[in-house]
Amino acid sequence: MTAGIPQTAMVLAAGLGKRMRPITDTIPKPLVSVSGKPLIDWGLDALAEAGVDTAVVNVHYLADKMEIHLAGRTTPRIVISDEREELLDSAGGVVKALSHLGSEAFYILNADTFWIEGGTPNLRHMASRWDAGRMDILLMLAAPQQATGHTGRGDFLMDGEGRLIRFSDNAGSPLIYAGAAIVHPRIFAGASGAPESLNRYFDRAIAEDRLYGMKMDGLWLTVGTPDAIGEAEAALAARV
């Protein structure tokens, strides 16, 4: 296995947050507060705890407010990837930021999800599982009973070695993509930089048997709508 914690991370924070309206009429979704802390800071704090040096954060909607808030952070070091002119979706945003992310594996985090740790911090656990010889992408996964605020049916099935395939209705127990991943930048070789989803790269890695998963420890909190804020805060309060 590859040793060490990834030193860089991409935080996907450029979305419009339409499902969070009316709160997001005046603030970007990553700045929505849960238990007194903006969503993005839950993720950045987890990256700092894991030993990440640099986090690239993409901005688009109400970007000035994002930049003002992020200017107050020192750990990890923040680099802004400006998508004011064009929203590039998840993979396109990563491709635009590749020059800041380095040549080794890095984390990708969604800015609107976070988690309550169980045992070993999940990002460190992911790093210990990462194997660049076998993997192109390693996803953090949650079982439905570990999640609050999630309304989907699930995303992936995992075999005994951690390899993933897409979940279908007729077999297995689904796991949810929990908004954190480790990826190797080689997967973006030849990418155009146009708007596109990371799902394209997940499917390519599945086809090559190089998409793997790690079931997280603890409770995963996704905050996609105003109602989900209360659910997340109740879960946090229950763990105090």
pLDDT of residue 2: 41
3-state SS, residue 166:
strand
Distance CA 1, CA 4 (A): 9
CA angle, 28 then 31 then 32, to 5°: 95
Rounded to whole angstroms, the Cα distance separating 72 from 181 reads 26
Q: CA–CA distance from 26 to each of 30, 40, 104, 232 (Å)?
A: 12, 16, 37, 21
What per-residue confidence (pLDDT) applies to 1? 37
Instruction: Give 125-136 pLDDT, tens digit per residue.
Output: 999 999 999 999
From the centroid of its chain, how far is CA 158?
A: 19
Other C-beta atoms lying within 10 Å of the C-beta of residue 65: 15
Distance from chain centroid for Cα 77:
18
Q: Which helix (H) or strand (E) holds 181?
A: strand 176-183
DSSP category for residue 1: -
pLDDT in tens, 168-184: 766 778 899 999 999 99
Please list the ranges in the chain whose pLDDT falls under 50: 1-2
In this structure, which amino acid lies at residue 155? Answer: D
Domains, in order of start, for the chain:
8-238 (3.90.550.10)
pLDDT at res. 94: 96
